[in-house]
Structure 1
Amino acid sequence: MSELKLKLSVLPVEPGCYLMKNKDGEIIYVGKAKNLRSRVRSYFTGAHDEKTMRLVADITEFDFIVTGSEIESLLLENTLIKKHLPRYNILLKDDKSYPFIKITKEKHPKLVVTRTVKPKSGKYFGPYPNAYSAHETKKLLDRIYPLRKCNTMPDKLCLYYHIGQCLGPCVFNVTEEQNQKMIDGITDFLNGETDEVMKELEEKMHAAAEELEFEKAKEYRDLMGHIENTMLKQNVLTSDMTARDCFGYAVDNGWMSVSVLFIRSGKLIEKKAEMFPMNDSAEEEFFRFIVHFYDLSSNLMPKEVHIPKEFNAALLDEALPAAVKAPLRGGKREMVELATKNAGIAIENKFEIIARDEARTIKAIETLGDVMNIETPRRIEAFDNSNIQGVDPVSVMVSFIDGKPSKKDYRKYKIKTVTGPDDYASMAEAVRRRYTRVLKEGLPLPDLIIVDGAVGHMNTVKSVLLNELSLDIPVAGLAKDDKHSTAELLYGDPAEIVPMKKNSQSFYLLQRIQDEVHRFAISFHRNTRRKTSVVSQLDNIEGVGPARKRKLLSKFGSVKRMKEKNVTDFTEIGIPKNVAENIVRKLSEQQ
């Protein structure tokens, strides 16, 4: 959750879509937001209904796509829901989610609002953000371009003719040229060429206001608002069906971030992003990434690849089977700019998260040093043991530098001098071996040693350090509660509980250290046991199959213990005498 909080803190305050994921990386919810940071944060604060609480409990990661406007995020949300079918979304079942404005393909065409797209049945514009704006825009167009209104041609003039919204093709001869002129005007209008109409409406609005006709002025103002709302360019849905990938990039602190937007069937369906350190020029790194992106991945080659205009598209065009272009204007350039924007935000977030994380961990170790009254422990080494009733005992050491794990400095120890379950002696051996080698090779000593245990473990380690190695290093213990969670830090001579707030970053650091050393110890012990039990010297003994081997190992713990037993010891646990004799003979030969 701490990583999620860091990521939440650097989310952009821009419109876009967010994709919530579970521990398996599955997208479980897609949403849109006018302000990504505020919206996504709201899931993790305050009270929620039962459904939202279940959703938040499943979230372990999230991704986001920045868009150019709130309307674009609305349309992108629709596309992503249909693509990923997240189980927490109310699924949209078909393509009737958003309205289109259509000019029908007839002798006397009509202008209609529809949610169903039928290819070759007319000319479509949209989709639009909501039905209200689409209908209001159609009303305006009806006033300007008097196309036929009736579904069935009547035999007399209707009301629309008398109010100037129809040329009356039911009675009068309306030529193909007249209809085409109106279609061209509507097409220009819906393609964004609305300057003249907006200017005329603005003049009428001011004129009405001067005449104190405020209702009429408000009507003109609202119509202008509907036009602006409807005419917003929809970058996330393009007018053609060409499959294309749009790449953008950003560079910072010697790293490059590349973002690619997948456009299929005119829709943005997915975003992928990657960051990597730069060794060459921006163009060389960028081109190498794209060639590798298609060569070694499962990404299908689109018909077109669009890249930023500062790069040589012709050079990359020779390397790829797709047409590589660097668009200079229009919606295609805007899609590349959107990819670049997403890449820029990703790399900014990366370094902001790093900076915040470093500030948090440095502050945590400084505070830890203060409460323990020691120098800031920039290098912390922690020890833990693992065994089952003394069988295959192991110890491990993990190292944290500036509050972060340094895995190259982790060490494993198979305990050699201890017989039976003796935690103190096992830890003493591991500490002795670790710091004997540190002194011999001139390696850096830790500022603080932490043992997973209480006073007894601390005193054992202090004895080895002071009496055997003449080292004076602070030693602390981490005691656990009955739920096996970090409960308190012990330090001093005699050892006392160090007062710490359980919600402080210093305490969280101690929890991470204890969890990590415990995880490392358990993992090492399991691997050790697997080698001595699963791949065992019992495998080739006649009469000993998997079930009998499990029984023997459960009773005696290891092959080493079995070598110390006689035939009677085996028959007493239900092993047939002839098989017991085979076991004793074979193990004796191996020994």
Structure 2
Amino acid sequence: MNHPKGGFFIFAYMFDYKSALKNVPHKPGVYQYYDAVGELIYIGKAKDLRNRVASYFNNDNYKVNAKTKVLVSKIRSLTFTIVDTEIDAWLLENSLIKKHQPKYNVMLKDDKTYPWIVIKNEPFPRIFSTRRLIKDGSKYFGPYPSVSMMHHILDLIKDTYPLRTCNLALHQTNIKAGKFKVCLEYQIGNCKGPCEAYQSEESYNHYIEEIKDILSGKIGNVLKDLKAQVTDEASQLHFEEAHRLQSKYDLLERYQSKSTIVNSSITEVDVFSIASDDKISFVNYLKVMHGTIIQTQTIELKKKLDESDEELLSIAISEFRTKFQSTSKEIIVPFEMELEDENVKFTVPKQGEKKKLLELSQKNVLFFKKDKIDQYEKLNPEFRTDRLLALMQKDLRLNDLPRHIECFDNSNFQGDYPVSAIVVFKDAKPSKKDYRHFNVKTVEGPNDFATMEEAVYRRYKRLLEENEPLPQLIIIDGGKGQLSSAVKSLKTLGIYNKVAIIGIAKRLEELYYPGDQYPLYLDKKSETLRIIQQLRDEAHRFGITFHRKKRDQGTLKTELELIEGIGKTSAQNLLRHFKSVKKIREANEAELLQVINTKQTKSLLSFFQQKSSSQ
């Protein structure tokens, strides 16, 4: 097997976890699992290696976490690396994961190469953007996930400081030998001509030091010095120079006003927040120097073993601090972290400026999460379906994903023409071919509870008789009374414990559960509530449409029965054949004779002629 080697103390052996644990120490470190063919499949860190490795083979953990169960079943050997502190383990884990990319480790989706701003290690240093880091003594700032922000900063530097952009080797010997001539940049005022010694190296380097402060977030120091220079030049009546310095001051102050979001007393902190879904997590990072955000990025982590938010956040913290070369002694996080290090302080702010910073990071990560999920769902509609169903299962405390939902609604007109309607959603979408309506048979008068009881009973009695699948969720349009009536039918059929059922009351959109006197209130912007409302409204629409049709038919039938010779049966036959009174009115004698006799036909035609002439 190709196990990693280096300056650490490493053990390797064939898999026999009980024997193996005897050799694993109670020390911080990194452990690595290998499968039957020697492929590295997982890397983890631990404050206590033996306890952490043993936890994978604990029976309770083995049963609870299905993904971990798969991982454990593939382990055939392991190695471990002892380090001095938990933070060292943390950093080593991140390094090894990025190098080996094991199958069961969290996948960091961030394969972009971001640009840096470099101050070259050379006489009269040039400043420009680059994606290559060369170890030649140059100073690099970044990386910048936002290329537009980087160009904005470079434009600010260009507008504020007259620096050279040429590639000339401006050593003093070459300058003194007169090898160079000033170019157009000097003529238009963008450069002060160091190539012909029109600007001293000391003066040029003063600009460079100010720029380093700006790029490090110490813009307040630069402004303070500039203000003093403006005052000094003005006092000596050098008004032209004072005006130039004041313009420079104003430009930098405007830049600072757009960048500063907290009190400048917060000198150097890293801020992290996380937003998770079932399969993916997103982590936002803000690097703050002297009250100014100088770096920001959000990354995506694809879960592999149902990792907790704390595990994912620790991976992201290590990744960001390595990438951005952060040495901040304070890290602001949204919850307590188990990581301990005497050189780093983890803070969970409750109020004040640090709390505002955390909230800003959280806004960013939530926006990024929504944007990414929207993109996924456009490309993969099934992703949206799975996410919505998982969200509904969580919000409604269901045991199963509600892939099949049915919603009931009743309609009547002053107690007449009572009907019930059922609409069906499958995978969070209407399944109109499965919609049904019921003519109420056993209820007389306006009794909404009894109507609901009958509809629910008839619906699921038929499904059971036809061996059709039951829904995972039933929604009753109504409060406690309607819900209790529906529950009564489910109990009669013996399926009460097989199907989840809830009621939704219209007034405050509260959700009721059987046997629970207190309703559940979902956020008004909740996607779960929106789907429930869509179901309820669709059931109401479908029910009302059927109810109006039945009521209209009843009204028209009564009108037809007023015609001499047309009785109840004849009126029903006419409506059944022609579908509407309009078509009956437009029918000719031959067509009418197919349904009713000659005497009735003459009476009907006479009735419509009289009615037409009187209008």
* TM-score using structure 2 length: 0.30
Greater Rg by CA: 2
TM-score (norm 1): 0.31
